[in-house]
Homo-oligomer: A and B are copies of this chain.
């Protein structure tokens, strides 16, 4: 693949991820191409279908999740409590919630992209290993599974549509902290 083509491919994934989070699952292809600063034909060349594009995003997110779990595993022994909090916050920062409708889309596609399913499985496994550490350390109730935990975090970081009531807080770190406290054993 030519180097300029690769750069544009990456720009497209980034643009798509950003717009999906911002505007929901129906962003027109033209908007994604425009955001990436390329023509529509380029988008179609790299990602013939929406599914292909979403798989591209999932690959990127998958790599970031593995980063989080790896870093957490390395830090764990020296500062378990700090590691745990950082891990949850880092996972929250990935804004997994923005992907919820996209995951639904891929899963509902005629041909469920097995690449996406594989990556999902690996990410859940890695998160599960961190959760085991947390359970042993007493930071997390034993009955909470990796799917539940990740989905919970995704739900509370899911982007809201713009709600122009001035009193609606945009910062959600208090909710994430409440989540961390709420999943602790009594």
Chain A residues with a Cβ under 8 A of chain B: 100-101, 103-104, 107-108, 120, 144-145, 147-148, 151-152, 155-156, 158, 160-165, 167-169, 174-175, 177-184
Chain B nearest CB, measured from A45 CB (Å)? 29
Q: Which residue of B lies closest to A147 (CB)?
A: B167
Task: Report Cα–Cα, A28/B177, bound state, in Å.
Answer: 39
Q: Which residue of B lies closest to A178 (CB)?
A: B182
Q: Are B163 and A103 in contact (CB under 8 A)?
A: yes
Q: Which residue of B lies closest to A184 (CB)?
A: B181
User: Which one of B103, B158, B165, B179 lies within 8 Å of A182 (CB-CB)?
Assistant: B179
Task: Report Cα–Cα, A101/B158, bound state, in Å.
Answer: 13
Contacts of A108 in B (CB 8 A): 162, 164
Contacts of A104 in B (CB 8 A): 160-164
Contacts of A160 in B (CB 8 A): 100, 104, 155
* Given A156-B156, A179-B182, A182-B181, A174 contacting B161 (CB threshold 8 A): no
Task: Report Cα–Cα, A168/B178, bound state, in Å.
Answer: 22
Chain B nearest CB, measured from A138 CB (Å)? 15
Contacts of A167 in B (CB 8 A): 147
Q: Which residue of B lies closest to A165 (CB)?
A: B107
Contacts of A180 in B (CB 8 A): 182
Contacts of A164 in B (CB 8 A): 104, 107-108
Q: Are B107 and A144 in contact (CB under 8 A)?
A: no
